[in-house]
C-alpha cells in the first residue's frame, strides 16, 4: 500500500462514520434540528473557514457532507492526499459537533473539547507576538508515562502550547501532571476526532487575526502555514485514520513527527524513533525559535557594569592574549553538527587556578542557521566585548587573539566559573542574532596546549582569511550595496550608500556591518540597494542607486555618484570622520579630520567645512567620508583617485600612510606617496603648499584640471 | 495683474479614519494638502479636539481644572461633564496610574473605569496608556475587549510592544491602533510597516509621532511632522499616510511653566493662564505642523483650539 | 536657484588676495553660496561675473532691517519653506498693539506689562521687541504723535500703523532715527507713503484689501524702486491672514515670485480681538507658519513662556543643536552636600533630564559638561564626553571646591566610562544612572 492508499482508506473510514452519525441524528431529531458549537461566532469553524458556508442544522450538515465528498478524489497524487486529509478533518468536525446536539456537554474535566472564541482571542495574541512560540499537537499514547511527562514538560518550559488527544491524557492524569488552559497544556478529548478542536483554533486564528475571508481556502492555508507554528507529534501505532488526519495537518503546513517506522515525506512526515528527541526534531521541522530571556549566571548582568575595571588586587584570575595563547572565534557549522545550548569546557575550571594567576583561554562559539553567512561571523564576534563586559565583576578588552579577561574575586566567590562565559555568549548570540542563528553551542578551552594548537591551526588562519576577504571585497565583486539612514534624525535628507570599498562616512558602518544590520532588522536603517543599471561607470552612477537615494531621502535628492566629488557627490550628514575639499591652486584636495582644529590650505577649518558640507545637501567639490576611505581605490576615482590628495593633518596622515602608500603604489607605482602630501607643519596656506608639492613632484600638479 | 498662487494640492492624501460609532463618530484625515492649506484644496475633515481625563479622577487634576468639574464625584461624572464642554470631539482616558513605577494600579481596576466611562458617554474614546510597555500591552488588550465594537483608539503601540498591542487591539478586537514613535520619520515609518506586516489594517492605524511642550525640543516635532506630511502627500508614501494624533496635555501639564504656582514664581503671574497658554500654543503648533487631532486637558484650551480650527477650515 | 560654491569659484579671480576677509577665493565663494557674505565684498569679481550671478545668488526673500543701533533687527531672508530643508534664519518678532484712542494710564500699563517680560533662555534675550502704534482718526493727529513720542523712548522698535500720509509724516518726524516700520501704504496712498518712507530711510509696510490688491501694490512699489518693504497679511479673517502669509512665502521661495518675497506682518490682535487665548494660539500658529512680525493685544509671561520657547526651537539650525551653558545647575534647592549627576550640554538632554530631576523632588546638582552641544552617545562617540573631558571639566570648574558630595551619577548610556572615571577622579564614587531620563525619578527615589 502506498501512503496515498493509507490516507484514502483512513478518509473513507471516517467519512463512513460521519455519514452514519448524521443519518442517525436526522432520524432521531429531524433535518431542522439545530447544530452548533457553543460560544463561537464561526459556526463550524473549519468548514466555514474552508468553504465560507455556515451550517445551522442537521439538513445543512448533510448537505455539507456532500461538499466534503467532492474533496475526496482518488488519484495517486499529493493533492488528492492533502484534500482527503482536509476532508477527514472536516468529517471529524461534523462528528464532534454532533456530540453537542441538543445542548449536550460531551466533555468533562480534564478534557476541553471545543474551545470558545474568547479563548482563541486570548491565546491568539501571544501566538501572533511569538510569546507562545509554537503549538504542539500530541496525538495518541507515548511509549511510557515518563516519556509523556518529559515531552510535555519540555514544551511547557519553552512556552509552547500543548494540546493532547487520546491516550496521553490518561498518561498525564496517571502521573498527576497538572493540565489546563492556564498552564498551557490543554487536553482536548480522548477520541481521535477531538483533535479537530485544535485545528479549529488555527482556523479561527486565521479568520480573526489574519483577516482571512471565510471560503478563501488558499489564504487560509497560507496563513496557517506561515503564521500558526503548530506541529503534530503522533505516537505509534498509527492507524489509517490518524494518517489521514496527519495529511490534513500537513495540508495546513503542520509537520508530523512520529516514532512509527512508516512512510517519510521530507519536512512533513518525519520519523524520529527516539521520543526524547521529538522536541528538538519538531522545533527544527517547524522552524521554531525559542526566545532566551534570562542568562543563567550567579552574578548580575547589565549594561551598567560595562565600564567596570577590575584591578589587579581584586582579581581572581586573568586570561591575557598578549602573554599566553588566547582567542575568541565564531564559526559557522551545519545544523546537524550543533547541539543547541551545549556548553563544553575543555581543560581545568577556574577554581583550580591560583588567585591572581594568568592563563590561556579560548572560546569558540559555533553557530548554525538557515540565514547564517560566514560574513556575519566577525560582526557577531565584535559584540563579545560588550557581552562579557556586562557581567558584574568581570572585564574584557581587545579582540580576536589579543583579548584580556579578568574575573574579580567577588564574582568568583559568587560561583562564577568558565562555563558561565559560555552561558552568556550562548544567550546573547541567540537572542540578539535570532534572525540568523538558529542553533548555537560554545566550546571553552582552558587547556593551555590545546589553546596554543588551535590558535595557530584554527583561529589565526580564519582571521587571515577574513582580512584577505576584506581586502579582496570590491565594489565590483558584490551584487548589492546598502543604504544607511541612521543619521536622518538630524540630517533629514542624508543617505549613505555603503559599498565594500566605501564605508559609511561616520567610519562606523562597513558594507559587512550594513549587510548584517539588514539581515537582522529588515525594516531598519540599512536597506538593500541594487546596482544593475549603470548610467556612468566612471563616476559610479546607477539608475537603481539613484532611485534608492530618492526614496530614502524622501525626494530631496535625485542622483548621486559613488566615486566623484565634483559631479553629484554623495551627501554628508554631520558625523563624518573627515571632509575633503578642493584646493584649486594645487589641483587636488585637502582632507581634514574631526580632531584637527587648525586651518587648512582651502582657507577653512574643519568646522567651517563641516557647516558647508553637512545637512544632506550636495556640495560639489566637498564631501564627508570615513578615515578608512582615504586609502580606497575608489576614493575620488572619477577625478583620478588618491593622487589628488595634497594635504592632510599630520596625525591623520600617519594613521593612513601605510595603506595609502600601498594603494598609490598599486595604482600609480609611486613609492612612499604619503611623503609627498603636505600637512600643517609644512603649510596652512595654498601658496606654501604649492611650493612644497612642486618640490616633491606631486602627481596632482600634472593631472587634468579638476574644474 | 492679480496674484496667482500655484496650487499645492497633491495627488496623494492622508487616510481617512473613523473614530467612535453612531452620531458622535468623527472622521480624521482625508486631506490632500498641508495643514490648513484650504486655499490649495478644501479640507473636508477638520482636525479634532479631545479632552483628557485620568484614572486619578478629580484629585489628580491641577487646581485650575478642578473648578470646571465642580460637583463631580466619580470619574464617570467627570466624563459626562467633559462631554458637555464646548469644542469637545472625543474623550481620552489616560490610565497613567497603571505605571508599575508609579501607582501600579491593577489592570482590572483601570478597565473597570474604562467600562463605566464608555457606558456613560457616547463620544469616541481614546485609551492612553501608562507608558510602561508591558503594562500597556495588558491594558490595551483588556480595554479593547471591553470596548468591543466602539471603534476606540489604543494610544499607543510602540516598537517594544507593537506585536501585543497590534494583535489584541488591531486584530482580535478591530480597534484603532495608535503607533507611537519618538520624533523620527524613519521610526514612524518602520512601526507602521511592522504593524501592517503583522496584519493590522493600515487604514485603522493612527500615529503619534512624538510631541513635546513648546520650548522643549519642539524643533524635532515640527520637522518630524513636516517631513511625514511631505512623504505622505508629495512622495505618496502609503506607509506614512496615517492621520496623526498628538497628546498635548500629558506633555504640557508636567512642565514648570504650567505647574509652578504663583507663590513660587510671582513674576510669572497667574498660573491658570500660563497652563492654558502653554497647552494652546503647543496644540496650535502641532496642528500647524500636521496633527489631525490633539488631546487637551483644560476646557478653555479645548474651546480655544476648537475655535481656531473652525476659523481656519 | 541656489548657486553652488564651486560655480561661484569658477568665476572668481582665483588670486587668494584675502582682501575680502577670507583666506582663499574658495573659502569666499563657499560663503557667498551660503549667503553668509555678499559678493560685493570682493573687489575683483568682474562686473559681468557679478551680473551673471546677482540674479542667481539673490535670495528669494528679501532681508529687511528695522530698528537702529542695538535695537536693529533683521527680518525675512528665508531660503526654505521647512526648517529641515536647511534652516530658518531670522526669527519671528513680536509686537504689542497700542492705540492713540487709549488714555495715558492704559498705555502706560500696557507698556509696563510688555516690558515686564524680559528674560534669558539658553543664551537668548526674550522680550517684546516691538510696539505697534495704531492711529485712531477720531482722537486726532496730535494725539497720535503724542503717543508715538511717549512710547518712542521705551527701547522697542515702533510700528507706525497709520495710513494717513500727513499724520504718518508728523509721527515719523519724532521717531525716524530709531528706524520704525511705517506701516501705512495701501492701493491709494502708496506713492506718497513710499516717498515718505524712502526719505526717512525706513521700511514701508503695505496693506491690501485682499491678496490681489496687496500683490499689485507691492508690484507698484517695486516699480517705484522701493524694495524696502514688508506686507500685512489680510486682516479680514484668520483664514485670509493664514492664506496670505503662507501663499506669499510659498510663491517667493518655491516659485521665485520676488514680489512676494518680503517679510510679513500678522496682526492677531485684530483677528481675535478680546480673546487672549485665541491670540496665544494664533501667535504660535504664525510663528510656525511664516509670520515675520506678529502683533498681539498683550504679551505677558503666560503667552511668552511657550511662545519664545517655541520660537527658539523652530529657528534652531538643525545642524547646530541648541546648547545650554555648561556649569552646575542646582535643582530642587540642592546644596553642596546634594548628590551630583552629570550629562552633556545638548539643550534637549538638559531639558529632559532637569525636568525629570525636578519631578523627583530630590535635591541634586546637575553638572552640565561642555560636550559641544551633542547628545550623550554622539558626544561620547566624538570624544567630547569622555572620562578625560569630564575630569578636566571638573577641574577647570573647580567642582570639588563648590560641592562637597562625592557621589556622581553618569548617564547609563556611557556606563563604559565608570572605571576610567574612578581612576581619573579619585575620591568620587561613580554611580551608573539609568539609560533613559524617564527612569531617573525612580532611580533617585530608590537611592534615598
The CATH number of residue B113's host domain is 3.20.20.20
CATH number of A117-286: 3.40.50.2030
Does the beta carbon of C309 lie under 8 angstroms from any beta carbon of chain B?
Answer: yes
Could you say which DSSP state residue A457 is in? Answer: I
Q: What is d(CA A653, CA A596) in angstroms, rounded to the nearest whole number? A: 12
Q: Are C313 and B218 in contact (CB under 8 A)?
A: yes
Region class of C399: left (phi > 0), else alpha (psi between -120 and 50), else beta: alpha
**Residue A489 pLDDT:** 64
CB contact under 8 A, C277 and B270: no
Contact residues, chain A to chain C, C-beta under 8 Å:
303-309, 389, 395, 490-493, 508, 556, 566, 574-575, 581-585, 594-595, 599, 601-604, 608, 611-612, 614-615, 617-622, 685-687, 707
Give how far the C-alpha of residue A402 lies from the chain's centroid of Cα atoms, to the nearest Å.
29
Q: How many CB pairs under 8 A join B and C?
A: 176
Alpha carbon A422 to chain centroid distance?
A: 20
* A-chain residues near B148 (CB < 8 A): none
Q: How distant is the Cα of A311 from the closest Cα of chain C, in angstroms?
A: 10
The residue behind cell 526654505 is C80
- Return residue ranges of chain A for CATH 3.40.50.2030: 117-286
Strand partners, C157: C130
Residue in the block written with cell 489521514: A244
Convert the pLDDT of each residue in A567-600 to its tens digit: 899 988 777 889 999 999 999 999 999 888 899 9
Q: Quick one: how far is CA A514 from the chain centroid?
A: 14
Instruction: Indicate yes or no: CB of C215 within 8 angstroms of CB of B223.
Output: no
Interface of C with B in 110-169 (CB under 8 A): 116, 121
Q: Give the torsion sign (CA, A475, A481, A485, A486).
A: negative
pLDDT at A490: 63
Distance, in Å, from the CA atom of A234 to the CA atom of C318, rounded to the nearest integer, reads 63
In CATH terms, is domain A3-103 a member of 1.10.8.190? Answer: yes
Q: How many CA atoms lie within 13 A of B2 on its CB side?
A: 7
The dihedral sign for the CA sequence C214, B285, B182, B256: positive
Chain B contacts to A (CB-CB under 8 A): 141, 145, 163-164, 166-168, 171-173, 183-186, 190, 193-194, 198-199, 201, 220, 223, 227, 230-231, 234-235, 237
CA distance B276 to C275: 13
C-alpha cell at A206: 486565521
Query: Between residues B39 and A520, which one has the greater pLDDT?
Result: B39
What is the grid cell recorded at B141? 488588550
Strands A269-271 and A256-258, by their bridges, are: parallel
Q: What is the mean pLDDT of residues A656-663?
A: 94
| Three cell numbers, residue A541 | 552612477
Provide, as residue numbers in chain B, all residues whose Cβ is less than 8 Å from the Cβ of C296: none
> Is C431 in a helix, a strand, or coil?
strand
Residue C1, pLDDT above cutoff 70: no
How far is A304 from A308, CA to CA, in rounded Å?
8
Of B166, C6, C435, C9, nearest in space to A126 by CA:
B166
Alpha-carbon gap, residue C342 to B197, rounded angstroms: 42
Task: Identify the CA nearest to A678 among candidates A703, A633, A648, A658.
Answer: A648
Interface membership of A210 toward B (CB under 8 Å): yes
The three-class DSSP label of residue A224 is: helix
Question: Tens of pLDDT along C416-447?
Answer: 899 889 989 999 999 999 988 888 988 998 88
Q: Where are the domains of chain C?
A: 5-57, 63-314, 327-447
Asked if C96 and C299 touch (Cβ cutoff 8 Å), the reply is yes
CATH number listed for the domain at residues C63-314: 3.20.20.20
Architecture of the domain defined by C5-57 = Orthogonal Bundle (1.10)
CB-CB under 8 Å, C27 with A619: no
Residue whose cell numbers read 572620562 = C387
CB B3 within 8 A of CB C214: yes
What's the rounded Cα separation, in Å, for the pair A55 and B232?
A: 45
pLDDT tens across C251-289, in order? 999 988 989 999 999 999 999 999 999 999 999 999 999
* Confidence bin at B224 (pLDDT 50/70/90): very high
Q: Do A582 and C10 touch (CB under 8 A)?
A: no
The mean of the pLDDT values for chain C is 92
On whether residue B261 sits in a domain, the answer given is no
Quote the DSSP letter at residue C82: S
Instruction: Collect all residues of chain A within an 8 Å Cβ-Cβ radius of residue C416.
Output: 306-307, 389
Pairs of CB atoms within 8 A across A/B: 61
What is the distance of C-alpha A112 from the center of its chain? 37
Shortest Cα distance, chain B CAs vs residue A284, angstroms: 23
Residues of A in contact with C37 (CB under 8 A): none
How many structural domains does chain B have?
1
Pairing label, strands A361-368, A326-332: parallel
pLDDT, averaged across chain A: 91
Helices A58-71, A78-99: inter-axial angle, 10-degree rounding: 160
Residues of B in contact with C354 (CB under 8 A): none
Candidates C27, C86, C378; nearest CB to A603: C27
**Cα angle C39, C40, C42; round to 5:** 80
Minimal Cβ distance to C24: which of A304, A575, A686? A686
Pick from B190, B227, B234: which is nearest to A492 by CB?
B227
Among A357, A349, A356, A358, smallest CA distance to A419 is for A349
Quote the DSSP letter at residue C236.
S
C91 three-class SS:
coil
User: Which residues lie below 8 Å from residue C117, measured CB to CB, with a gap of 6+?
Assistant: C126, C127, C128, C299, C300, C301, C304
Supply the ipTM of this predicted assembly. Answer: 0.96
User: φ and ψ at A484, to 5 degrees?
Assistant: -140, 120
* CA–CA separation, A76 and A85 (whole Å): 14
Cis peptide before A237 (omega within 30 of 0): yes
Asked if residue B169 lies in contact with residue A121, where contact means CB atoms within 8 angstroms, the answer is: no
User: To the nearest 10°, the Cα dihedral for B45, B46, B51, B52?
Assistant: 70
Q: Is C5 on the interface with A (CB under 8 A)?
A: yes
Q: Residue C57 has what pLDDT?
A: 67
Our measurement of the distance from residue B235's CA atom to the centroid of its chain's CA atoms, rounded to an integer in Å, reads: 25
**Which residues, listed in sequence order, are joined to residue A445 by a DSSP beta bridge?**
A346, A362
CATH code for the structural domain at A578-702: 3.40.1470.10
> A554 in contact with B at a CB cutoff of 8 Å?
yes
Q: Is the pLDDT of residue C321 over 80?
A: no
Grid cell locating A506:
561616520
- Report the pLDDT averaged over residues C126-136: 97
- Rounded to a whole number of angstroms, the distance from the CA of A128 to the nearest CA of chain B is 6
Note the pLDDT tens digit of each residue in C138-193: 999 999 999 999 999 999 999 999 999 999 999 999 999 999 999 999 999 999 99
State the virtual CA torsion across A143, A145, A149, A152 in degrees, nearest 10.
40
Give the highest mean pLDDT range of A373-387, A392-406, C191-205, C338-352.
C191-205
- Architecture of the domain defined by A303-453: 2-Layer Sandwich (3.30)
The answer to whether the CB of A517 falls within 8 A of the CB of A526 is yes
Q: Which residue has the cell 538638559?
A: C350
pLDDT of the residue at A558: 87
What are A29-76's pLDDT values in tens digits?
999 999 999 999 999 999 999 999 999 999 999 999 999 999 999 999
Task: Return d(Cα C32, Cα C107) in angstroms, integer.
Answer: 45
Summarised one tens digit per residue, pLDDT across range C353-379 is 988 898 888 999 999 999 888 888 878
Integer angstrom CA distances of residue A255 from A128, A143, A184, A286: 19, 20, 21, 7
Q: Once rounded to an integer, what is the mean pLDDT over residues C115-135?
A: 94
User: What's the CA gap between C446 and A328, in Å, rounded?
Assistant: 39
Tell me, letter by letter, the H, E, C secondary structure of A563-624.
CCCCCCCCCCCCCCCEEEEEEHHHCEEEEEECCCCCECCCCCEHHHHHHHHCCCCCCCCEEE
SS3 for C46? coil
Whether B3 maps to a domain, the answer reads no
Cα torsion B249, B254, B255, B256: sign: positive
Indicate whether A675 pLDDT > 50: yes
Instruction: Provide the grid cell at A411.
Output: 564574582
> Which one of C313, C359, C436, C439 would you mutate to disrupt binding with B, by most B Cβ within 10 Å of its Cβ?
C313
Closest CA to A342 of A333, A351, A354, A353: A333
- Alpha-carbon distance of C351 to C397, in angstroms, equals 22
pLDDT surpasses 70 at C295: yes
Regarding pTM above 0.80, the answer is yes
Q: What are phi and psi of B130, to 5 degrees?
A: -100, 0
d(CA C124, CA C92) in angstroms, rounded, equals 14
- Answer yes or no: is pLDDT of B5 > 90: no
Map residue A351 onto helix, strand or coil. helix
**Domain boundaries, position B167:** 17-256+267-312
CATH number of C327-447: 3.40.50.11600
Residue range B256-280: average pLDDT? 93
- Whether A263 and chain B come into contact, CB under 8 Å, resolves to no
Whether residue C82 and residue B226 make contact (CB cut-off 8 A), yes or no, is: yes
For residue A541, give the DSSP letter: E
Q: Where are the beta strands (DSSP E) in chain B?
A: 17-19, 26-28, 48-54, 90-94, 125-128, 153-157, 176-180, 205-208, 245-247, 293-296
Provide, rounded to the nearest whole percent, the portion of chain C with pLDDT above 70: 98
Of residues A434 and B18, the one with the higher pLDDT is: B18
- Over residues A415-426, the mean pLDDT reads 95
Contact C307, C94 (CB under 8 A): yes
Place of cell 498635548: B248
Nearest to A42 by CA among A222, A250, A209: A209
What does the H/E/C string look like for C250-305? HHHHHCCCHHHCCCEEEEHHHHCCCCHHHHHHHHHHHHHCCCCEEEECCCCHHHHH
Amino acid at each position: 500500500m502506498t501512503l496515498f492508499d493509507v490516507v484514502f482508506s483512513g478518509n473513507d473510514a471516517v467519512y463512513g462514520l460521519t455519514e452514519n452519525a448524521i443519518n442517525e441524528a436526522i432520524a432521531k431529531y429531524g433535518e431542522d434540528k439545530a447544530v452548533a458549537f457553543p460560544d463561537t461566532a464561526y459556526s463550524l469553524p473549519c468548514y466555514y473557514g474552508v468553504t465560507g458556508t455556515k451550517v445551522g442544522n442537521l439538513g445543512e450538515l448533510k448537505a455539507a457532507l456532500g461538499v466534503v465528498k467532492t474533496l475526496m478524489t482518488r488519484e495517486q497524487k499529493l493533492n488528492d492526499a492533502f484534500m482527503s486529509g482536509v476532508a477527514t478533518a472536516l468529517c471529524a468536525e461534523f462528528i464532534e459537533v454532533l456530540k453537542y446536539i441538543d445542548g449536550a456537554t460531551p466533555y468533562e474535566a480534564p478534557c476541553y473539547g471545543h474551545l470558545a472564541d474568547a479563548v482563541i482571542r486570548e491565546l491568539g495574541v501571544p501566538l501572533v507576538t511569538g510569546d507562545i512560540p509554537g503549538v504542539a499537537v500530541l496525538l495518541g499514547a507515548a511509549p511510557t508515562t515518563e516519556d509523556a511527562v518529559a515531552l510535555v514538560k519540555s514544551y511547557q518550559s519553552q512556552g509552547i502550547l500543548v494540546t493532547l488527544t487520546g491516550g496521553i491524557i490518561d498518561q498525564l492524569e496517571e502521573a498527576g501532571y497538572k493540565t489546563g488552559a492556564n498552564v498551557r497544556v490543554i487536553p482536548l478529548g480522548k477520541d481521535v476526532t477531538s483533535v479537530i478542536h485544535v485545528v479549529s483554533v488555527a482556523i479561527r486564528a486565521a479568520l480573526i487575526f489574519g483577516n482571512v475571508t471565510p471560503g478563501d481556502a488558499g489564504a487560509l492555508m497560507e496563513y496557517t502555514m506561515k503564521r500558526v507554528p503548530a506541529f503534530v507529534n503522533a505516537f505509534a501505532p498509527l492507524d489509517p485514520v490518524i494518517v489521514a488526519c496527519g495529511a490534513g495537518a500537513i495540508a495546513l503546513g503542520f509537520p508530523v513527527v512520529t516514532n512509527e517506522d512508516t512512510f517519510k515525506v521530507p519536512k512533513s512526515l518525519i520519523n524520529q524513533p527516539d521520543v526524547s528527541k521529538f522536541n528538538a526534531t519538531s522545533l527544527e521541522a517547524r522552524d521554531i525559535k525559542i526566545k532566551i530571556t534570562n542568562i543563567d549566571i550567579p552574578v548580575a548582568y547589565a549594561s551598567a557594569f560595562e565600564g567596570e575595571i577590575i584591578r589587579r588586587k581584586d582579581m581572581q584570575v586573568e586570561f591575557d592574549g598578549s602573554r599566553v595563547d588566547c582567542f575568541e572565534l565564531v564559526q559557522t557549522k551545519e545544523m546537524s553538527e550543533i547541539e543547541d545550548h551545549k556548553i563544553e569546557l575543555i581543560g581545568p575550571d577556574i577554581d583550580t587556578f591560583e588567585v591572581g594567576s594568568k592563563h590561556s583561554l579560548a572560546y569558540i562559539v559555533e553557530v548554525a542557521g538557515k540565514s547564517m553567512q560566514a560574513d556575519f561571523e566577525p560582526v557577531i564576534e565584535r559584540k563579545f566585548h560588550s557581552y562579557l563586559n556586562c557581567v558584574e565583576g568581570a572585564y574584557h578588552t581587545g579582540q580576536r587573539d589579543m583579548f584580556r579577561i579578568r574575573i574579580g574575586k567577588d564574582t568568583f566567590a559568587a560561583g562564577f566559573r568558565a562555563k558561565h562565559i559560555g552561558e552568556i555568549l550562548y544567550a546573547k548570540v541567540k537572542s540578539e542574532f535570532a534572525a540568523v542563528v538558529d542553533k548555537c553551542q560554545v566550546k571553552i578551552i582552558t587547556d593551555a596546549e590545546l589553546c596554543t594548537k588551535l590558535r595557530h591551526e584554527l583561529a589565526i588562519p580564519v582571521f587571515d582569511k577574513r582580512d584577505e576577504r576584506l581586502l579582496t571585497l570590491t565594489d565590483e565583486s558584490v551584487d548589492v550595496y546598502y543604504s544607511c539612514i541612521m543619521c536622518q534624525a538630524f540630517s533629514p535628507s542624508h543617505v549613505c550608500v555603503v559599498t565594500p570599498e566605501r564605508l559609511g562616512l561616520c567610519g562606523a558602518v562597513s558594507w559587512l556591518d550594513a549587510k548584517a544590520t539588514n539581515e537582522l532588522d529588515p525594516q531598519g536603517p540599512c536597506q538593500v540597494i541594487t546596482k544593475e543599471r549603470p548610467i556612468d561607470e566612471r563616476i559610479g552612477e546607477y539608475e537603481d542607486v539613484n532611485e534608492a537615494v530618492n526614496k530614502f531621502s524622501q525626494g530631496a535628492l535625485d542622483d548621486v555618484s559613488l566615486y566623484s566629488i565634483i559631479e553629484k557627490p554623495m551627501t554628508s550628514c554631520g558625523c563624518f570622520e573627515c571632509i575633503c575639499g578642493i584646493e584649486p591652486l594645487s589641483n587636488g584636495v585637502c582632507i581634514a579630520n574631526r580632531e584637527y582644529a587648525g586651518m587648512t590650505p582651502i582657507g577653512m577649518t574643519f568646522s567651517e567645512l563641516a557647516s558647508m558640507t553637512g545637512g544632506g545637501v550636495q556640495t560639489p567639490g566637498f564631501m564627508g567620508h570615513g578615515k578608512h576611505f582615504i586609502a580606497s581605490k575608489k576614493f575620488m576615482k572619477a577625478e583620478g583617485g588618491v593622487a589628488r590628495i595634497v594635504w592632510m593633518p599630520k596625525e591623520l596622515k600617519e594613521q593612513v600612510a601605510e595603506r595609502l602608500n600601498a594603494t598609490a603604489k598599486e595604482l600609480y607605482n609611486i613609492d612612499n606617496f604619503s611623503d609627498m602630501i603636505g600637512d600643517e607643519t609644512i603649510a596652512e596656506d595654498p601658496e606654501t603648499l604649492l611650493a612644497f608639492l612642486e618640490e616633491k613632484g606631486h602627481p596632482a600638479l600634472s593631472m587634468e584640471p579638476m574644474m | 495683474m492679480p496674484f496667482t498662487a500655484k496650487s499645492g494640492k497633491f495627488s496623494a492624501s492622508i487616510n481617512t479614519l473613523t473614530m467612535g460609532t453612531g452620531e458622535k463618530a468623527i472622521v480624521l484625515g482625508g486631506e490632500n494638502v498641508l495643514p490648513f492649506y484650504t486655499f490649495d484644496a478644501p479640507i473636508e475633515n477638520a482636525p479634532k479636539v479631545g479632552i483628557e481625563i485620568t484614572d486619578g479622577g478629580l484629585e489628580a487634576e491641577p487646581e485650575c481644572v478642578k473648578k470646571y468639574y465642580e460637583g463631580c464625584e466619580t470619574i464617570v461624572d467627570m466624563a459626562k461633564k467633559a462631554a458637555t464642554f464646548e469644542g469637545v470631539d472625543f474623550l481620552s482616558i489616560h490610565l497613567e496610574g497603571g505605571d508599575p513605577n508609579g501607582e501600579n494600579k491593577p489592570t482590572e481596576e483601570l478597565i473597570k473605569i474604562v467600562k463605566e466611562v464608555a457606558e456613560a458617554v457616547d463620544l469616541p474614546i481614546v485609551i492612553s496608556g501608562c507608558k510602561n510597555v508591558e503594562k500597556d500591552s495588558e491594558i490595551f488588550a483588556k480595554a479593547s475587549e471591553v470596548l468591543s465594537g466602539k471603534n476606540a483608539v489604543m494610544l499607543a503601540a510602540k516598537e517594544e510592544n507593537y506585536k501585543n498591542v497590534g494583535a489584541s487591539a488591531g486584530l482580535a478586537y478591530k480597534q484603532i491602533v495608535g503607533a507611537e514613535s519618538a520624533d523620527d520619520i524613519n521610526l514612524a515609518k518602520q512601526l507602521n510597516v511592522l504593524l501592517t506586516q503583522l496584519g493590522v489594517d493600515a487604514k485603522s492605524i493612527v500615529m503619534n509621532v512624538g510631541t513635546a511642550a513648546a520650548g522643549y525640543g519642539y524643533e524635532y516635532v515640527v520637522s518630524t511632522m513636516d517631513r511625514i506630511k511631505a512623504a505622505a502627500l508629495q512622495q505618496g508614501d502609503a506607509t506614512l499616510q496615517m492621520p496623526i494624533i498628538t497628546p498635548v496635555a500629558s506633555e504640557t501639564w508636567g512642565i514648570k511653566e504650567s505647574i509652578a504656582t504663583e507663590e513660587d514664581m510671582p513674576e510669572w503671574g497667574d498660573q491658570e493662564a500660563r497652563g492654558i497658554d502653554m497647552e494652546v500654543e503647543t496644540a496650535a503648533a502641532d496642528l500647524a505642523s500636521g496633527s489631525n487631532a490633539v488631546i487637551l486637558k483644560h476646557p478653555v484650551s479645548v474651546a480655544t483650539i476648537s475655535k481656531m480650527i473652525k476659523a481656519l477650515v | 536657484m541656489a548657486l553652488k560654491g564651486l560655480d561661484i569659484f569658477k568665476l572668481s579671480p582665483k588670486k587668494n588676495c584675502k582682501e575680502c576677509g577670507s583666506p582663499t577665493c574658495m573659502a569666499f565663494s563657499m560663503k557667498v553660496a551660503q549667503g553668509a557674505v555678499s559678493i560685493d565684498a570682493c573687489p575683483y569679481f568682474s562686473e559681468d561675473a557679478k551680473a551673471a550671478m546677482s540674479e542667481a545668488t539673490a535670495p528669494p526673500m528679501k532681508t529687511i532691517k528695522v530698528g537702529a543701533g542695538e535695537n536693529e533687527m533683521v527680518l525675512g531672508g528665508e531660503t526654505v519653506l521647512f526648517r529641515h530643508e536647511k534652516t530658518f534664519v531670522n526669527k519671528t518678532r513680536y509686537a504689542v498693539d497700542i492705540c492713540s484712542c487709549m488714555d495715558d494710564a492704559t498705555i502706560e500699563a500696557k507698556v509696563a506689562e510688555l516690558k515686564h517680560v524680559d528674560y534669558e533662555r539658553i543664551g537668548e534675550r526674550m522680550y517684546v521687541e516691538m510696539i505697534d502704534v495704531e492711529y485712531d482718526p477720531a482722537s486726532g493727529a496730535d494725539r497720535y504723535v503724542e503717543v508715538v513720542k511717549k512710547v518712542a523712548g521705551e527701547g522697542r522698535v515702533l510700528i507706525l500703523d497709520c495710513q494717513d500720509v500727513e499724520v504718518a509724516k508728523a509721527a515719523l518726524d519724532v521717531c525716524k532715527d530709531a528706524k520704525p516700520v511705517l506701516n501705512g501704504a495701501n492701493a491709494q496712498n502708496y506713492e506718497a507713503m513710499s516717498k515718505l518712507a524712502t526719505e526717512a530711510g525706513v521700511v514701508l509696510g503695505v496693506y491690501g484689501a485682499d491678496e490681489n490688491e496687496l500683490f499689485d501694490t507691492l508690484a507698484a512699489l517695486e516699480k517705484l524702486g522701493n524694495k524696502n518693504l514688508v506686507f500685512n497679511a489680510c486682516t479680514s479673517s484668520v483664514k485670509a491672514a493664514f492664506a496670505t502669509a503662507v501663499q506669499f512665502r510659498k510663491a517667493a521661495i518655491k516659485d521665485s515670485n520676488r514680489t512676494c518675497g518680503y517679510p510679513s506682518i500678522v496682526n492677531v490682535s485684530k483677528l481675535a480681538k478680546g480673546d487672549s487665548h485665541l491670540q496665544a494660539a494664533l501667535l504660535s500658529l504664525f510663528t510656525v507658519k511664516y509670520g515675520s512680525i506678529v502683533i498681539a493685544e498683550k504679551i505677558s509671561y503666560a503667552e511668552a513662556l511657550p511662545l519664545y520657547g517655541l520660537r527658539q526651537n523652530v529657528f534652531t539650525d538643525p545642524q547646530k543643536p541648541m546648547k545650554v551653558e555648561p556649569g552646575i545647575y542646582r535643582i530642587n534647592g540642592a546644596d553642596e552636600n546634594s548628590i551630583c549627576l552629570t550629562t552633556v550640554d545638548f539643550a534637549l538632554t538638559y531639558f529632559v533630564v532637569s525636568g525629570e530631576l525636578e519631578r523627583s523632588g530630590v535635591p541634586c546638582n546637575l553638572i552640565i559638561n561642555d560636550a559641544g552641544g551633542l547628545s550623550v552617545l554622539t558626544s561620547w562617540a566624538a570624544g567630547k564626553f569622555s572620562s578625560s573631558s569630564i575630569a578636566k571639566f571638573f577641574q577647570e570648574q573647580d567642582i570639588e571646591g563648590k560641592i562637597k558630595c562625592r557621589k556622581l551619577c553618569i548617564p547609563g548610556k556611557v556606563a563604559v566610562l565608570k572605571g576610567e572615571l574612578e581612576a581619573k577622579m579619585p575620591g568620587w564614587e561613580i554611580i551608573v544612572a539609568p539609560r533613559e531620563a524617564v527612569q531617573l525619578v525612580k532611580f533617585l527615589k530608590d537611592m534615598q
